[in-house]
Amino acid sequence: MNAIRVKGWAQEWLRLGMAAGVLSLVACTSNVSQVDARAALTPLRSVPLAAAEPTGRINFTERIPDSPQWRRLRAAWGSPSFVIAVASRDQHTLPCFDKFRLSVELRANSKGVRSEPAQWLYGYSTECPNVGVKFHAEGGDVLDVAVGVPAAAAAQPDDLILIADWGTKTKDRLVGVGIDEDIRNIVKRIF
């Protein structure tokens, strides 16, 4: 009889230990989903360069996202930088920004924004080290973008894009999102 009680206790402790281990594993996962990750890598704005005709300018206002989705992303991945770049029509390549001779003026909440050359952007092939203009903005900031576009650039079939840049660890973060989703799916099957 004692052997049966000991065996029952051992099985119960094993189940509790496994449950605690699974819960600990789930607690280590982030709240970022595949849908969140896709939103993080999707341009906030895409405008054909041809839209600059006949004025030679592209102007737009964009509110930097501060939705629950973007707050989850910032909590897990940190605050992104943002990049104004020119993307090929198929959105796979960033041509050399300098070749378009664009002039970019940025204001956030009516104040000037400091920018620097963007040298890389995850998910795109690049043709040279300068792929656009990189800057920082906070969630909820109202961004005013004014881009001077010479006629030769406006004749190109490319798009001006505004996109978040999550840095050099973007691929690692995306792999982590995939692993997290796998863990959550396994836990759902167990429980």
Q: Which two tokens stand for residue 145?
A: 């973008």
* pLDDT of 29 over the 50 cut: no
What's the confidence (pLDDT) of residue 20? 42
What's the confidence (pLDDT) of residue 118? 94
What is the separation of C-alpha 134 from the centre of its chain, rounded to a whole number of angstroms?
14
What's the confidence (pLDDT) of residue 183? 72
Each residue's pLDDT tens digit, 125-154: 988 989 999 999 999 999 999 999 999 999
What's the confidence (pLDDT) of residue 55? 95
Using alpha carbons only, how large is the chain's radius of gyration in Å? 24
What's the confidence (pLDDT) of residue 107? 96
What's the confidence (pLDDT) of residue 182? 57
Q: Which two tokens stand for residue 166?
A: 């999550």
Mean pLDDT score, 69-97:
94
Q: Which two tokens stand for residue 126?
A: 């690049």
What's the confidence (pLDDT) of residue 189? 72
* pLDDT of 22 over the 50 cut: no
What is the rounded distance in angstroms from the CA atom of residue 107 to the CA atom of residue 112? 4
